[in-house]
Structure formats: structure tokens, C-alpha cells
Structure 1
Amino acid sequence: MTQQDFATRQTPATTEKRPGKALNIVLWVLQIGLLAEFALAGIAKVTANPQMVDMFAEIGAGQWFRVLTGVLELAGAIGLAIPALCGLAGLGLAALSVGATITNIFVLHTNPTITIVLFVVAAVVAWGRRGRTAELVNRFRR
């Protein structure tokens, strides 16, 4: 086997399609933006920011739900910074954003634009990093 044959040979773990360089840069920019947004929101929730305490009191699910939501947001933010987890983190944050959008519309009766934008960005990250998510799933199937 020549060096070129070895370099072009793909193993099952590397056959997942990786984004091109430009898309990879765009995805990292989106991930950093999401990381900042969800880290700040998560910190506000777990540190009992008065606005968050009042908002979750209005939601009526209890303050335990505020803490849980904050922990999930922080976990997602951390996951966005870890290459092997960033696709899964994007998927989880997209799901959180769906819940936040539904809550904004039907419970709080507020404008859901921010949560919709966060959903779209998180979904783009999850889609763009789907190869990494597939690799992660395949590691656990073995």
C-alpha cells in the first residue's frame, strides 16, 4: 500500500461527511454565540436572578424547573465547546428553545422571536455537526 493509498483510505469512523472549511468556521461562530447566550441565561437561572425567579413563578412550574432549565442550558453551552459533543449539544439546545417558544406564546404571552432565532441557530449547529453526533453514537454502539 502506497502512502497515497493510506492517506485516502477511509475507515468506518471517518466516512461521515465533514463540513468544508468555510462552513466549519460559520458553525464555530454560531456555536460561540449560542454558548455565550445559553451560558448567560443558565447562570441567571441557577443563581436565582430576580427576573428569572419572577418569570418561573409566572410560569407556575416551580423554582426547581428554573434550576433544571439553567443546568440544562449550562450543560448545552459547555457541550458546544467540545467538538465531540457540539452536535448533540445543538440538538438539546434546539429542544430547549422549542419548549421556551411554546412557553412564551401560550403561558407568558410574550414575543417568541428570540427563542425562535435560538432554535434556528441551534438546529443549524446540530445539522452541521451531525457527522460528529453520528460518530458519538457509533462509539457507544460498539
Structure 2
Amino acid sequence: MGSPLMNTALWVIASVLALVFLTAGLMKISQPREKLAASGMAWTADSSPGTVKTVGAVEVLGAVGLIVPAALGIAPALAAWAALGLAATMLGATVLHLRRREAKALPIALVLFVLAAEVAWGRFGPYAF
């Protein structure tokens, strides 16, 4: 299992990511895209409602996958896959924001990518469950 300190750090990072993605995903699922666009998510105005809802569902599932399988001890390897999926999602978000020249959104997308990639690395590698 490796260092207890690193394992704790990965849990903390995964918990923060889960909270961020759960909040963002639920927002995308529950609010109309016009309201999301007006609140600063400009990309939603150019996306179909189905795309916005799908992104939200992916974020919610990723958030749940980061915590629940490992916490319950049921298929805990799914936490690593969830982290990898969220890293891929944020890589896509980074490309989207670059294409749209949305410089303000880039730092958040990149930080979330790095954090999710770190959790994926740790949970697939030396700190796997």
C-alpha cells in the first residue's frame, strides 16, 4: 500500500475532486444550459442540451467512482479508473477552452486534470487498494 502519508494525500485529493465534480455535474444535470451559459459556462451555449447533461452525468459518476468503491471495499480498483476518466474529461475541457480562447477557464481545467491524473497514477501504481 506504500506510504500512509501518500495514501492519505490521495484520499484528500480524491475527496476534493469528488466534491468539485459532484457539484459541477449536478449543476449541469439540473439546470438549463441557458442558465449555465449565463453563469459563466459559455461553452454550454454552443453545445446541445444532451451534451451538457452527458458531461454532467460523467462528472457525477466520476465523483462517485472516486470514493464509493474504495470506501466500501467493493471493486476498489474502480477509483483508479474513475480518476483516469476524470483526467481524460479535463483534458477534453482544456482542449475545448483552448479552442474557444477561454483563458480564464484554463487554469481550473489544468489543475483538475493534474489532480485527477495524480490520483489515477497513485491508485493504479504504488498506492493501489
* Residue 19 of structure 1: how far off its partner (Å): 2.9
Q: Which whole-Å CA distance do the structure 2 matches of 1:57 and 1:121 have between them?
A: 24
Q: Secondary structure at the match of 2:103?
A: coil
Q: How far apart in 1 are the matches of 2:113 and 2:44?
A: 24
Measured on the aligned residues, the alpha-carbon RMSD in Å equals: 2.1
Q: Partner of 1:19: helix, strand, or coil?
A: coil
**1:26, distance to aligned residue in structure 2 (A):** 0.2
* 1:31-70 correspondence to structure 2 within 5 Å: 31-48=14-31, 50-52=35-37, 55-58=42-45, 60-70=46-56
Structure with the greater alpha carbon radius of gyration: 1
- The answer as to whether partners of 1:41 and 1:70 remain within 8 angstroms in 2 is yes
Question: For 2:36 and 2:101, how far apart are their aligned partners in 1?
Answer: 13
- Quick one: percent identity of the two aligned structures? 34
Structure 2 stretches lacking a partner, 5+ long: 71-75
TM norm structure 2: 0.81
**1:51 to partner: Cα distance:** 1.9
1:120 equivalenced with 2:103 (yes/no): no
> Does the aligned pair in 2 maintain the 1:87–1:126 contact within 8 Å?
yes
Instruction: Please list, as runs of the form range in 1=range in 2, the aligned pairs for 1:62-141 lying within 5 A after superposition.
Output: 62-81=48-67, 82-83=69-70, 84=76, 85-107=78-100, 109-111=102-104, 112-131=106-125
Deviation at 1:48, TM superposition (A): 1.5
- The alpha-carbon deviation at position 108 of structure 1 amounts to 5.1
